[in-house]
Amino acid sequence: MPNVILINQPVPQGNIPIIQSLFSATVHLLFQHSHAHPNLNCEVRVTYRANGPQTRCGGNCDIGYDIDLTAENDDWCKHLYQFSHEACHVFAQYQQAQHSNQWFEESLCEMSSLYCIKNIAAMGAKDQGPCVDLWAGSSPYHQSLNAYAEKLINSPDRACDSDQLQFWLQRFEMDLRRDPYIRCLNGIIANRLLDLFMATPSNWAAVEFLNVNPCANGQDSFVEYLDNWQAATPHQYQALINQVKAMFGLKA
């Protein structure tokens, strides 16, 4: 698994061993179905600073990746939320320049935050994983993690009926192509994707290939983007991509 290294302590303070264990559990959740991933043994360096959260450009499997976070103290929900998003970019082998369909990867990474928080909370409920001995007052911390994820999932601005996504895409795609970081819109897609990954965790194996076959000028249509992803993905992992296409009313 990738080796996560915390470069400094959260401001003004934070329990580095606990944060380290949460982040290690995160990369295991993402990489466990991709045994030949080029980033499987890379170094992921985490720095706490004002300019974040972000995954810095220039990283690769040889020199590793640098992630900047802004979470403070022992707000472990926020640490996990931010890191799980940025680690998903590393897992998806993110493109070094912004492209017109980056909104989908941003939505996928928002889903990653929900997925990792929910799964680590579920481990804790079974007395497993990194939050077993963590508490929020008199309550086990896994309850706080799950409540944090559920609050995001049930946020009113993330509501959209599944059968309306085709029309949603027609309405908002141009906005997202211009600005892939519209989080309320990313969140709607994240919720829909979460159902697919919670039901079939091995779907993560397909995400490894998301950016393997990018469009040369970064201006491909969303259909072309998904087709390129599918062409780069081994056949046994393509079910997810067909599900994504169906979700948006596109032909598989």
**Sign of the C-alpha dihedral computed for residues 14, 153, 194 and 102 taken in this order:** negative
69, β-bridge pairs:
48
What is the per-residue pLDDT for 229? Answer: 97
Q: How far apart are CA 172 and CA 110, in angstroms?
A: 18
pLDDT band at 66 (very low <50, low <70, confident <90, very high): very high
Q: How far apart are CA 70 and CA 47, in angstroms?
A: 9
- pTM for the structure as a whole: 0.96
* Domain spans, the chain: 1-252
pLDDT band at 93 (very low <50, low <70, confident <90, very high): very high
pLDDT band at 160 (very low <50, low <70, confident <90, very high): confident
pLDDT greater than 80 at residue 218: no
Go through 6-38 and write b for each residue having 16 or more CB atoms within 10 A of its CB, e for each that does not: beeebeeebbeebbebbbebbbebbbebbeebe
What is the per-residue pLDDT for 198? Answer: 98
Share of the chain above pLDDT 90, in %: 88
Q: How far apart are CA 42 and CA 40, in angstroms?
A: 6
For residue range 8-38, list pLDDT tens digits in order.
Answer: 999 888 899 999 999 999 999 999 999 999 9
Instruction: Please give the class, per CATH, of domain 1-252.
Output: mainly alpha
**Residue-averaged pLDDT of the chain:** 95
> By the 8 A CB rule, do 71 and 12 touch?
no
What is the per-residue pLDDT for 154? Answer: 96
